[in-house]
Amino acid sequence: MRDNARNSNAASCSLSKSRRVDSKERSTLNITNQGNALNIDCLAVKEFTGSINDIEEIATRLLEYFKSKINVVTSQYHFLCEIVNKLKGSIVVSNNPFFYEEDGGSLLIKKDKSFIITLSPITSPLRDNFTIAHELGHYFLHYDQDIDIKEDIVFARYGRDLYERQANCFAASFLMPKDDFIKAKKEYGNDYSALATRFEVSETTVRIRERNINSFLP
């Protein structure tokens, strides 16, 4: 049911590359487990050197830019698919719920600079929104497009805490911009269900965003 909904979303946003892949096919796509923690040390992958507020700013500016380029949006998922589409990337759904273990991560950047975001077959659409935004965070913050790569890059989720936190920070800022979030909090209070619906993310994600925003407020 959930997968159907996700597939129909994918279809509605004309993301022709959004489809299911199994492990075997991933191998043919040259997604391997080789050095998933090591290739994060390749020259094209760098830690983001700025502050949290910088990440918030990048997320806000890119969000505004994408909004200006993508006119018709039916859902957050649709919007994210369109962004991936415009960046010449694709989203696939793995047949293996444990593909992290097997393939080392859910973002693959290929030698030709195209990229693939892999979603788990068991996660909810709300979680998927966050995953896509998180992987885009890696793509924007940690991948240097100016450097040619000789091998595919797999961003390992178990790479480094800092990379993950920066990508999480980007995803949260992108899906729940700080000003919008504070405004929504005033409107919905502690109704986390309503807040989650408003931003199309899970309640857990809303709670984490609230915790993090509160820690920055004076």
Q: Which residues bind another protein (CB under 8 A)?
A: 48-54, 57-58, 61-62, 65, 69, 86-88, 140-141, 145-146, 161-162, 164-166, 168-169, 190-193, 203-204, 207-208, 211-212, 215
DSSP 39: G
Residue 20 or residue 216: which is nearer to another protein going by CB? 216
Shortest spacing between CB 190 and another protein, in angstroms: 6
Residue 146 or residue 179: which is nearer to another protein going by CB? 146
Shortest spacing between CB 198 and another protein, in angstroms: 13
Shortest spacing between CB 142 and another protein, in angstroms: 10
Shortest spacing between CB 98 and another protein, in angstroms: 15
Q: Look at residues 175, 186, 179, 64 and name the one whose alpha carbon lies nearest to residue 126.
A: 175
Residue 34 or residue 190: which is nearer to another protein going by CB? 190
Could you give the C-alpha distances from 148 to 42, 98, 193, in angstroms and in order?
11, 30, 44
Instruction: Point out which residues pair with 117 in neighbouring strands.
Output: 91, 107
Q: In what order do the strands lie in the sheet with 107-109?
A: 19-21, 89-94, 115-119, 107-109, 153-155
Residue 28 or residue 51: which is nearer to another protein going by CB? 51
Backbone angles phi, psi at 18, to 5 degrees: -75, 115
Residue 80 or residue 93: which is nearer to another protein going by CB? 80
Query: What sign does the dihedral 153-155-161-162 (CA atoms) show?
Result: positive
Could you give the C-alpha distances from 194 to 184, 199, 202, 214, in angstroms and in order?
9, 9, 10, 19
Shortest spacing between CB 42 and another protein, in angstroms: 18
